[in-house]
Structure 1
Amino acid sequence: MHYPAFDTKEFYWYWGGGGHVGFWNGNDAVWADDNKSYTIIGADGILGLEYNFDEIPLNISLDWQPAINFVGHSGFWFDGGGLSIRYLFR
């Protein structure tokens, strides 16, 4: 979902959700038991702000991506985030 921000045509707030499935070996995670395989299933959220340049076909955004695992190593992961620079096809 996109909504105008700061009463401008360049800035937008966005939010959304989704899911994830992950597989890994215990040797690759600090908290996991060695020699054990893990599968996780959970839900993700995203909340961010983006800026669309008028002069050039680029977009830049900064977002927060919290997640919760329901299966496997369950818990809330609040430290996800991202910085994106995208080319816009107009």
Structure 2
Amino acid sequence: MNKIKYFFILAAFWGFSVQLAAQNFNSAIGVRFGYPFSISYKTFISESHALEGYVGFRGYSGVANWISINGAYQIHSDIDAIDGLEWYYGAGAGAQFWSYDFAESGSTTFSVSGYLGLQYTFEEAPVSVSIDWVPTFFIGDSRYGAFNSFGGGYGALAARYTLGRQ
């Protein structure tokens, strides 16, 4: 067998052996410190599957800025070595509403994102923190012309107040 077949066999065994997470809260609200800076709401729809929505702002040195609306579907899994620590992955989509300082018009772009992160929920406090990497592909037109590009530098450090503790 070649190396690709070995990789897929190992990935399949690993996927079946992953333990699902049993988070200790139902939902959380807070902020994402990153690109863009955002207000975030996350809710679990099962023990390991969550939906996150966030609205953010990003400025570009007095030239342009955007307001974005994003949603993500995430799958969480416990890291057994540390109570309260989980890793997650997922996918999402968003829309960015651009405003330009040098023009009286704006534009809209759309995005498709992947998510890979760590989340820690404190046992003694109603707080959850996470850090994630969100590689994003943007689609649409902007004042700069066609805006079909990939951005690998997106992500955030988030802090949220948990609701519905279990």
Normalising by structure 1, report the TM-score.
0.78
Q: Secondary structure at the match of 2:83?
A: coil
User: Does residue 68 of structure 1 match 2:142?
Assistant: no
Alpha-carbon displacement from aligned partner over 1:7-36 (angstroms, at most 9, x marks no partner): 333110011111111221343xxxxxx536
* Whole-angstrom CA distance in 2 between matches of 1:47 and 1:5: 14
Higher helix proportion: 2
How far off its partner does 1:70 sit? 2.4
Runs of 4+ with >4 A deviation: none
Higher mean displacement: 49-58 or 35-44? 35-44
Structure 2 counterparts to residues 3-42 of structure 1, below 5 A: 3-27=77-101, 34-35=102-103, 37-42=106-111
The equivalent of 1:46 in structure 2 is 115
* Whole-angstrom CA distance in 1 between matches of 2:129 and 2:121: 7
- Unaligned runs of 5+ residues in structure 2 are 1-74, 142-146
- The structure with the larger Rg is 2
Normalising by structure 2, report the TM-score.
0.46
* Whole-angstrom CA distance in 1 between matches of 2:110 and 2:89: 21
User: Does residue 85 of structure 1 match 2:159?
Assistant: yes
* Whole-angstrom CA distance in 2 between matches of 1:18 and 1:59: 21
For these two proteins, the number of residue pairs brought into alignment is 84
* Whole-angstrom CA distance in 2 between matches of 1:51 and 1:84: 10
The structure, 1 or 2, with the larger RCO (C-alpha pairs under 8 Å, 6+ apart) is 1
How far off its partner does 1:38 sit? 2.6
- Unaligned runs of 5+ residues in structure 1 are 28-33
* Whole-angstrom CA distance in 2 between matches of 1:37 and 1:88: 36
Q: How well do the aligned residues superpose, as a CA RMSD in angstroms?
A: 1.7
